[in-house]
């Protein structure tokens, strides 16, 4: 049977996971009467909740005499490490572009990776069923992007497929209607080159991902580069050009639809899972024992943002989490970097603190959310950008930012991005009274801006960004405008006390919530911090007052998500993360300690 290996790449929300759904359905992966949920490839609970792809996943579909191996990749730039390592397994890419939006920041990022690896793309203009679709203009924008990224003549000669992933059809010509995805299947087979491999040479494979099976242990995912491998064969693990370990192949699995099927052997060009070694790392090479293979390392971009992960030492520590010690935290973080290749973990001078670096706030936020769901309790500091150099040669990471807003909000957005050192590159009118703004902005300038942006645009604006590169340090950027309302007592919040506190700002808590001294319970209406008592109860006496029957009316609090709490943090604050709660607190809990530190 012939094979084709492709990756589907796109900006977030341009429909690549939905397109994979329809390819699987029309490739008869599911039974006729089988109930299939939407976005079946987004199997992770966080992916389903957020509607984004976080981890790259493998599947396959049969079309005629061909087996098409498909890798569904994340569209968000924070998970670009997933894209970079999976590109080594494929021979071509489907570039999915929204027929209305055209190329977006993360389209540029993932396409640049594919072109630099010499992969030939097939452009799929998706969502042509939208009434406001503009496929001709979108295609022109795609062509301009190819030119800008320095595509070769062969890469520029890309085929174009017009599709509606939601309705499950594709066509090569907008004037020719279609009822299925057969034109897309045919294009993949005709334009994606077969794996250029040596079937008869000695076995060679690079580990691009790791999975764990409770029966057979760790499994290595990758494409067989050369030769073949069979069950029960002894192979070598190669690091730095030397075989450091020998292992017997316990199991070989291939992808058939959404299932993993055990196979007796695999040959060059196949994407497989191999169980042979208990302790592998991404980038390791599996090789024949007689001929030690060499492959270039998987190139992964450097992290741009770091946070401190600390053991929880708040007054409420250890009450809600299952894993609370520094050993638990250390083991979990170092386990994560074995599969999360874009992450870095460093030990610090303190045994209770670890420096964790990643591609962005969302990248680290997903790790925090995953750990708290597993039962971990810990604290994290405010995100910081990673600088290069010192003094006059100091450089910082810059982001390419694209904002789509209604015309009435353009002035507000530009006014807010000015102090954040945003430099406008382009401003173009869009349909429906919208404007697209393009900026180059230091990564520091985006920290804490998303929630402010959503408030300014009444939730109607779209904001996307991707890493652009390092540039000159832009100087100081102002932080949070509002101070914090800080509890001065330990106890439970009381409605009677919170009525008075809410006049000073916006509350983050409901009545009946445990608080402690130094815990942030709201945002002050002024730039300064204010200590308040949310636990004060009404003293009972035998005198009936004129307002005794008045009902207490509280304004609904601002209940913040993990991303919003991370954006709210200031330098002197940390976030307490437990499976049940997110609590913002001051590093110094005592008000006297904070005043003393402020005088220094």
Annotation-wise, does 128 bind a ligand?
yes
Contact 596, 530 (CB under 8 A): no
Check residue 280 and report its DSSP letter. Answer: -
- Phi then psi dihedrals of residue 476, to 5 deg: -70, 140
Annotation-wise, does 14 bind a ligand?
yes
Tell me the CA distances in angstroms from 583 to 383, 452, 536, 562, 589, one per residue in order: 16, 20, 20, 10, 13
Angle, helix 182-191 to helix 16-26, in steps of 10 degrees: 100
Annotation-wise, does 348 bind a ligand?
no
Contact 425, 383 (CB under 8 A): no
Annotation-wise, does 228 bind a ligand?
no
Annotation-wise, does 16 bind a ligand?
yes
Annotation-wise, does 250 bind a ligand?
no
**Strand, helix or coil at 322?**
coil
Contact 208, 298 (CB under 8 A): yes
Residues facing residue 307 across a β-bridge: 356
Largest CA distance in the chain: 97
Residue whose tokens read 């299932």: 259
**Strand, helix or coil at 368?**
helix
Annotation-wise, does 586 bind a ligand?
no
Annotation-wise, does 305 bind a ligand?
no
Annotation-wise, does 524 bind a ligand?
no
Q: Going along 73-131, which residue ranges are E strands?
A: 92-98, 120-126
Annotation-wise, does 18 bind a ligand?
yes
Report how far residue 495's alpha carbon sits from residue 553's, in angstroms, rounded to the nearest whole number.
8
**Strand, helix or coil at 477?**
coil
First to last CA, the chain: 74
Angle, helix 410-417 to helix 449-456, in steps of 10 degrees: 160
Annotated binding site: 13-18, 126-129
As annotated, the binding site for GTP includes 13-18, 126-129
């Amino acid at each position: 049977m012939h094979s084709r290996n492709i990756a589907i790449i796109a900006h977030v929300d341009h429909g690549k996971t939905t397109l994979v759904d329809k390819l699987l359905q029309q490739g008869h992966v599911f039974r006729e009467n089988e109930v299939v949920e939407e976005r079946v490839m987004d199997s992770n609970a966080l992916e389903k909740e957020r509607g984004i792809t976080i981890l790259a996943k493998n599947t396959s579909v049969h079309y005629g005499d061909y087996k098409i191996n498909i890798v569904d990749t994340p569209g968000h730039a924070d998970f670009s490490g997933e894209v970079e390592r999976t590109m080594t397994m494929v021979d071509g890419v489907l570039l999915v572009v929204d027929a209305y939006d055209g190329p977006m920041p993360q389209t540029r990022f993932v396409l640049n990776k594919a072109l630099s690896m010499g992969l030939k793309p097939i452009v799929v203009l998706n969502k042509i069923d939208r009434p406001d679709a503009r496929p001709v203009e979108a295609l022109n924008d795609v062509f301009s992007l190819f030119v800008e990224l320095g595509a070769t003549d062969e890469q520029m000669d890309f085929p174009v497929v017009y599709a509606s992933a939601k309705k499950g059809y594709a066509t090569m010509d907008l004037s020719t209607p279609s009822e299925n995805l057969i034109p897309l299947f045919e294009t993949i087979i005709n334009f994606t080159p077969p794996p250029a491999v040596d079937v008869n040479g000695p076995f060679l494979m690079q580990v691009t991902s790791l999975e764990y099976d409770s029966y057979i242990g760790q499994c290595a995912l990758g494409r067989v580069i050369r030769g073949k491998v069979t069950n029960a064969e002894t192979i070598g693990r190669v690091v730095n050009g030397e075989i450091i370990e020998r292992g017997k192949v316990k199991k070989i699995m291939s992808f058939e639809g959404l299932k993993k099927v055990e196979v007796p052997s695999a040959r060059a060009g196949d994407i497989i899972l191999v169980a042979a070694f208990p302790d592998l790392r991404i980038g390791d090479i599996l090789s024949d024992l007689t001929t030690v293979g060499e492959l270039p390392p998987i190139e992964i971009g450097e992290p741009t943002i770091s946070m401190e992960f600390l053991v929880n030492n708040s007054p409420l520590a250890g009450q809600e989490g299952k894993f609370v010690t520094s050993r638990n935290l250390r083991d979990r973080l170092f386990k994560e970097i074995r599969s999360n290749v874009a992450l870095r973990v460093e030990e610090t001078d303190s045994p209770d603190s670890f420096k964790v670096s990643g591609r962005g706030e969302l990248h680290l936020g997903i790790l925090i959310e995953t750990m708290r769901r597993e039962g971990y309790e810990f604290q994290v500091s405010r995100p910081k950008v990673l600088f290069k150099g010192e003094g006059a040669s100091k450089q910082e990471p810059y982001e390419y930012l694209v904002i789509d807003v209604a015309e009435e909000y353009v002035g507000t957005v530009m006014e807010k991005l000015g102090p954040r050192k945003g430099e406008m590159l382009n401003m173009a009118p869009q349909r429906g009274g919208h404007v697209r703004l393009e900026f180059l902005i230091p990564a520091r300038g985006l920290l804490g801006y998303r929630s402010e942006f959503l408030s300014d645009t009444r939730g109607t604006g779209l904001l996307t960004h991707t890493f652009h590169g390092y540039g000159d340090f832009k100087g100081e950027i102002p932080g949070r405008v509002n101070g914090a309302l800080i509890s001065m007592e330990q106890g439970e919040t009381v409605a009677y006390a919170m009525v008075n506190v809410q006049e000073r700002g916006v509350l983050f808590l409901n009545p009946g919530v445990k608080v402690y001294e130094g815990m942030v319970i709201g945002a002050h209406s002024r730039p300064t911090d204010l200590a308040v008592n949310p636990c004060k109860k009404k003293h009972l006496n035998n005198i009936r007052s004129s307002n005794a029957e008045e009902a207490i009316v509280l304004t609904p609090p601002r209940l913040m998500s993990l991303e919003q709490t991370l954006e709210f943090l200031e330098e002197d604050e940390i976030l307490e993360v437990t499976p049940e709660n997110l609590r913002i607190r001051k590093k110094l809990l005592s008000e006297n300690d904070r005043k003393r530190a402020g005088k220094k």
